Structures are given as C-alpha cells and as structure tokens.
Amino acid sequence: MGDDPELLRRLLRAKDRMDAASHEDWPVRRLARVSGVSEAHFARRFKDAFGVPPHRYLLSRRIERAAAMLRDTDLSVTEIAFATGWKSLGTFGRTFRDVTSESPGDRRARERAAGNGPGRVPACYLAAAHRPDLRIAVSEKRRRAAGGRT
C-alpha cells in the first residue's frame, strides 16, 4: 500500500464508520467521501490495506453481528436480518449459509444446545474467532460447492 500514514488514517476512518454502522448502506462512493479520496483509489487502497474489498468487509461485519445476535438475543431471524442491514430475509439466509455453512436457525439451535456460554473470554477475542473468512467471494464459494471451476 505504500508508506502513507495519512491515507491509512483516512481508510481507517471509513472502516470505523462501517464498523459503527454496519446495518447502513456503504457504497464505495460514500466510503470514498468519508476518506476524502476518489472512488477508484479508495477501493484499490482499502483492499491493499485490509486484504478484502470494502463490500466483503461490510458483509463479514454483518454476518458477525448477526451470529452474535442469534447467540445472545431472542429476536427472530427476520428481526435480526433487518437489524443487521439486510433488505431481504431470503438474501440474509442464503448469504449467512454460504458464509458460515449453516443456516441462521441451525446456528442458533447449535449454540443453544452447546449450553455453556463463552465465559470470561473478552468480546474482541470472540469476535475475531467467529469472524467469517471472506477472502474469496461468496459467489466463488457457491461455484466451488457446485463443482465448478476455481
């Protein structure tokens, strides 16, 4: 990415905004405006700095938050889907399953059956351990699962 600490600070500002409001829409145009750089420059540099494109980063945050809400609340799957920024329950369920390999309902049932909570593990460590791996696109995961080319 280079040695431009000012650019990194600008990218971190956009990343922090996505973290704080992952339920909101964050098109590249809006993120670039937050960072004070062009859209193309932002998209390239964000991926260089954080290893994933902005959309995938946001997707991982939404899935991570939804998984925590499934574990920690009694909200319905539909309520969780809309609270985490999804416009469609179907899209939420399909994407959640594609990323985590289980449906939201199955995730909730499995974690409740496991019983004992995480105990005294700091929340930041739990979040990192449960963060979805989105180094490849969800569409590529689907293609691989269907036996398509890599």
**Domain of 36?**
5-51
Q: Mean pLDDT per segment of 10 residues, for the chain of length 150 residues?
A: 82 95 95 94 94 94 95 95 96 94 95 71 69 69 70
Q: Give the pLDDT of residue 149.
A: 58
Q: Residues 119-125: contacts with CB within 8 Å, 24+ apart?
A: none
Answer yes or no: do 135 and 116 share one domain.
Answer: yes
**Quick check: is 125 in a domain?**
yes
- Can you give the CATH number for the domain in which 87 is found? 1.10.10
Distance CA 69, CA 81 (A): 10
Distance CA 91, CA 83 (A): 14
Answer yes or no: do 31 and 83 share one domain.
Answer: no
3-state SS string over 28-89?
Answer: HHHHHHHHCCCHHHHHHHHHHHHCCCHHHHHHHHHHHHHHHHHHHCCCCHHHHHHHCCCCCH
Tell me which DSSP letter residue 91 carries.
Answer: H
Number of domains in the chain: 2
Q: Give the pLDDT of residue 148.
A: 66
**Quick check: is 150 in a domain?**
no
Statement: the pTM of the whole predicted model exceeds 0.85: no
First to last CA, the chain: 27
